[in-house]
Every structure is written in C-alpha cells, then in structure tokens.
Amino acid sequence: MEGGGNLESSIEQLLNVEKQMRLSGDVAGTKKAATDILQLCFEARAWNTLNDQIVLLSKRRGQLKQAVTAMVQQAMQYIDETPDIETRIELIKTLNNVSAGKIYVEIERARLIKKLAKIKEGQGLIAEAADLMQEIAVETFGAMAKTEKIAFILDQVRLCLDRQDYVRAQILSRKISPRVFDIDTSKEKKKPKEGDNLVEEAPADIPSLLELKRIYHELMIRYYTHNNDYLEICRCYKAIYDIPSVKENPALWTPVLRKICWFLVLAPHDPMQSSLLNSTLDDKNLSELPNFRLLLKQLVTMEVVQWTSLWNAYKDEFENEKSMLGGSLGDKAAEDLRQRIIEHNILVVSKYYARITLKRLAELLCLSIQEAEKHLSDMVVSKALMAKIDRPMEIVCFQTAKDSNDILNSWAMNLEKLLDLVEKSCHQIHKETMVHKAALKV
C-alpha cells in the first residue's frame, strides 16, 4: 500500500463486499472479506486501523460466528509481528474484548489471556498476571486439548505460588487429578463419532504429558514445602522418580532418590511413611547410595540411634543438598530431623520396656528429664504411642494399643461377671427369705 488514502479506499470496497456477503448469508465470502481487510491493515503496518477494523467488523449487525472466529484467529498470528510491547498489548486487549463472552472463541481467548499474562510477568507484575489467568476456567472447555488444559492450570498454580497465595494455589491444583498423568497415551485415539465436538490439537509449545507430570509435582513440592508437609513432599519426589526418562538416567534419579530418603526420615512415623520406607529400601538403585541405605536401615531397626553420632556422620550430606536438585531441605529440617530421631528412640524404648523411670528414659534419649517428658507427652497427644506417667514416682508405664476386638471381648467378660454376681445375690436373698419364713412358722 502506498498511502493512507489508498488503504482507506481499499478497506471501504472490502467492507461493501463483506456487507453483501453477510446479508446474503455467504459464510465463506464473509470470512474472506473480513480476513482480507485485516491482511491489508497488517501489510500496511497500520496497527490502530487494524484494531478499529476488528472491533467494527465484530459489531456489525448479524455478524456471522464463523467470520468472528476467522478474524480472531487471523489477528492472533500478527501478535508476534508487532513493533513494540505497547502495540502488542493493545492488539491483545482488542481481541480479548471481541472474544469476551463468545463461547465459539473461548480457546482463542484463553490463549490471548495467557500471552498477556506472560507479558505482565515479564514486566514483574506477578499479581496482575495471576489475576488475569484466574479469570479463565479452562477445565470447562470441551474442545481444548487435555495437555493444553493442564499446562494452563499449572501456569495458574505457578503464578499463585509466586505471589505466595497458597490457599488459591491449592484450590487450583485440585482441578488436576494426579491419575491423569498415568493414562497410556500410546493407545490409539478413538475416532470421534459424527456430531461429537472435535478436540483441537495442542499448540507445539505445550509440553508432553510426562513433562507436565514433572512440572505438576515440582509445583506441589513448592506448595507442601510452605507447610513443611514432609510426607507429601516425599510422595511428589517419588512420582518424579517413577517417570521413565528420570529412572533411566542415573544423573537425574540420584538427586531425586536422595531427596526421597531425606524426606522419609523427616516425615512423622505413620503407616504411609512405613510403607514408603520399606518400598524404598527394596529399591535396587539405593545400593548406589550406601550412606542413605544405612540411614533408612537405622530407622527400621528397633535400636536406639545416637543423635550426635548420626548428625556428625550425615551433616556434610545434609549441607550438600543445597547444591542438588530441589535445593536445601528447609530452615526447620535439621531441628525436625532431631525430633524424628527422638520419636524413633521413644518407640524403640516402648517396645522393650513395660515400665521405666523418667531418669533412665532421659539417659537413653540423651536428653534432660524435662525434655524427655515433653517429647513423650507430645507423642501420647498425637496418638503415636500409649503411655502413662506417674509424675510423683517419675515412672512411665507403656501400654499396648488395643484394637476394637480386644475392647469388645473385655466388655463381654465384664458383663458376664456382673450378671453372675447378680444371679448369686438373688439366690442368696431368696435363700435367706425361705429360712426366715420357716423360722416364723415354728
């Protein structure tokens, strides 16, 4: 195009063609006229005119859905060709306003919002980018590819974590079921039946399902680290460890397996932790990390662990985690590790002793009497252990936890004894009455 006047006259001619096509209901003709107008504006680099024409064409009376869809898709190709960031934002906002509330361009709108959020994030406006992304609920989009949906939700979660909005991050993460990553994608896709909505192909920049699985679990590790939920962090690392590409490469699985071992030791003792601990010990790869195998072995062996010697042996390994994948184990990790070792030692003592003095217990745990009593009390409160402390005598009595059958059996025994007593009492009363009556007759 040589000049502005020439562009305007060309657009005017095409607008008349578009009107004729639209009024006669010619879908293909209307689409071509509308996209040709946009192409003219783009070739002339008239960005303001392009924005104006998009709005004008979309608002024309009885405008066809197909024409609006074609215009939005055409204009989206021009976004990366814009000369500067302001023009780019202006074009995205124009397309966003045109596609707002129109279900037939919902996928395009989601992609536009994602582009705009990326620009805002690049400018350091994390909160604004997170707010933009939260406007879109992609899980309701039937025509969007599954991987694109997951990638979009993961971006929402990441931005919430970046702005430290942990509550919303958790709510958004629940939109993704971890089971979705284990579906076998190699199976042939069913051909859609006639009348079914066609699912669009995911864009080329969307990662594969297994890559998304790794990103999802890495984000969840960030979330659980905030709460110091060590068992859940361990389960996330276990899921990353089970990804085939990770398991096949020693350089990738070594740091992950180290993290699994550390977080298993840091997690409080419960059935899930015991199950993971035993399954990790059975892992052949653990023989490559003899130090960590020994660490886990100490936790399953019913022997008291000396904290100072353990810390001296593993202090360097603990510090080395900072340079490994996933970074350091957290500010409280060393303190929590000591806590877990104390809890392990108390459980060991409870297995070997029915009654023990507080002084002897404190000696075995290498603690003061007050500290030993505090840790023991905390374990009783959390129901990890059953015990009673006679404080004046300073004696601890460990009790075995009874299951429901034992409790019911003891109740049945007590009831039997009670009924037996009642029967004997009735018999004695009856006997006394008969003797008394006989004495009166005489």
User: Given this model, what pLDDT does residue 198 score?
Assistant: 64
Flag whether pLDDT at 422 surpasses 90.
yes
Looking at the chain, the whole-number percentage of residues with pLDDT higher than 90 is 3
pTM of the model as a whole: 0.75
Provide the pLDDT for residue 90.
Answer: 81
Q: Is the model more confident about 427 or about 290?
A: 427
Q: Are 209 and 185 a contacting pair, CB within 8 Å?
A: yes
Give me 321's structure tokens.
Answer: 């985690």
- Give the pLDDT of residue 400: 67
The pLDDT value recorded for residue 426 is 92
Q: How much is the pLDDT for 361?
A: 79
| d(C-alpha 260, C-alpha 239), whole Å | 10
Mind listing the pLDDT tens digit for each residue in 318-331? 777 776 766 666 66
Task: Give the residue with greater pLDDT, 419 vs 209.
Answer: 419
pLDDT single digits (tens) 294-342: 888 888 888 888 878 888 887 777 777 776 766 666 667 788 888 888 8
For the record, the structure tokens of 183 come out as 């579906």
* Higher local confidence (pLDDT), 187 or 83: 83
